[in-house]
């Protein structure tokens, strides 16, 4: 599971702190130095770490905390609060308001888990009483279209997949029209990815965005890629404007850097996390629960 290294380190720092009873400012400073190192080793962006430590320090070294009956407990609570805030504070929900069919566009690099996530999200929304239609607009990877069709059969949801010799912008637009015709209320559009971000990809995504005016653009990134995931998010947000992030492969041994940095760097929240290859392994992201998991 992701975060193991970070969780282990932070928990040992705080165990030692709790063992001390009364704390001096120097004790807190020493603990913060270790927290800082643990975050950097977990691949959290260095500026994010710097600001995070500054905020914790400001709240943790005052008389009120040091002279309290349970100073270590207070410091841990402050770190917990600040970790939660770092990941966005409140759970960030999908906004599916507006007249149906509501278009949701999934974007991301190849291999990030975009196609799988499209099906997972459709399944999740269907279980919440929505009636999604999937749209296969990743025409450059024929396997992606087949994959989505197969996943659609598996989760028993319709897929608009007219083939790979069509313009993805037309496919997306038709997908929305098809949803309207069939009375589906959400349209989940799987778009093309590339191995690297390039202009042609971004222009195509911009054209799809203009054609269907998605209510949500969700960027799918692979947690295992750490800081690269954050750089990808920054670039997609700058070029396209994203509404949220789906962080996949958190079931792997990702160090946690992407989960902890992406919100601070892009200003956009993680909305869902992928926890495995199966279609039922997508969950809404809860910053507070994640912070609790890290701190044990
Ligand atoms: P795309 O190129 O972005 O459409 O990526 P795919 O949806 O084809 O996914 C690439 C690979 O990652 C596939 O083998 C998926 O099964 C796998 N995958 C996607 N999401 C997850 C996840 O949350 N956890 C794990 N372990 N594997 C995932």
58-80 per-position pLDDT tens digit: 999 888 888 898 999 999 999 99
Say what the pLDDT of residue 253 is: 87
Say what the pLDDT of residue 42 is: 94
pLDDT above 90 for 95: yes
Contact 7, 296 (CB under 8 A): yes
Site to substitute for ligand 1 among 152, 223, 277, most atoms within 8 A of C-beta = 277
| Ligand 1 centroid, distance to 242 Cα (angstroms) | 20
Poorest-pLDDT segment among 78-82, 129-133, 208-212, 249-253: 249-253
Share of the chain above pLDDT 70, in %: 100
Give mean pLDDT, residues 266-291: 97
Residue 23 has what DSSP assignment?
Answer: -
110 lines ligand 1 (CB under 6 A): yes
Instruction: Quote the pTM value.
Output: 0.96
Contact residues for 145 (Cβ-Cβ < 8 A; gap 6+): 136, 138, 139, 161, 163, 164
d(CA 238, CA 240): 6
SS3 88: coil
Contact 155, 119 (CB under 8 A): yes
SS3 125: helix
- Annotation-wise, does 193 bind a ligand? yes
pLDDT above 90 for 204: yes
Say what the pLDDT of residue 262 is: 95
pLDDT digits (tens, 9 = 90+) for 234-261: 999 999 999 999 999 999 988 989 999 9
ipTM over 0.90: yes
d(CA 260, CA 290): 10
148 lines ligand 1 (CB under 6 A): no
Say what the pLDDT of residue 41 is: 95
């Amino acid at each position: 599971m992701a975060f193991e290294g970070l969780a282990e380190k932070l928990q040992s720092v705080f165990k030692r702190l709790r063992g001390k009873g009364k704390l001096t400012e120097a004790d807190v400073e020493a603990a913060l130095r270790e927290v800082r190192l643990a975050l950097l080793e977990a691949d959290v962006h260095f500026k994010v770490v710097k600001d995070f430590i500054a905020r914790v320090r400001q709240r943790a070294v005052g008389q009120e905390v040091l002279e309290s009956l349970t100073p270590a407990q207070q410091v841990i609570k402050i770190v917990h609060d600040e970790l939660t805030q770092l990941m966005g504070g409140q759970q960030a929900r999908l906004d599916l308001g507006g007249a149906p069919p509501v278009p949701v566009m999934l974007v991301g690099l190849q291999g990030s888990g975009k196609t799988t996530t499209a099906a997972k999200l459709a399944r999740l929304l269907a279980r919440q009483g929505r009636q999604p239609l999937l749209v296969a607009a990743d025409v450059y990877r024929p396997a992606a279209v087949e994959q989505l069709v197969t996943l659609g059969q598996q989760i028993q949801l319709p897929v608009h997949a007219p083939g790979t010799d069509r313009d993805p912008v037309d496919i997306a637009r038709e997908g929305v029209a098809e949803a309207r015709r069939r009375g589906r209320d959400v349209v989940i559009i799987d778009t093309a990815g590339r191995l690297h971000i390039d202009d042609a990809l971004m222009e195509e995504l911009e054209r799809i965005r203009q054609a269907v005016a998605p209510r949500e653009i969700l960027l799918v990134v692979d947690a295992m890629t750490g800081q690269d995931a954050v750089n990808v998010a920054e670039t997609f947000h700058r070029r396209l404007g994203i509404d949220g992030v789906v962080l996949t492969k958190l079931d792997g041994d990702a160090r946690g850097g992407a989960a902890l940095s992406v919100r601070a760097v892009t200003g956009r929240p993680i909305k869902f996390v992928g926890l495995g290859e199966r279609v039922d392994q997508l969950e809404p992201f809860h910053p507070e629960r994640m912070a609790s998991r890290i701190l044990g």
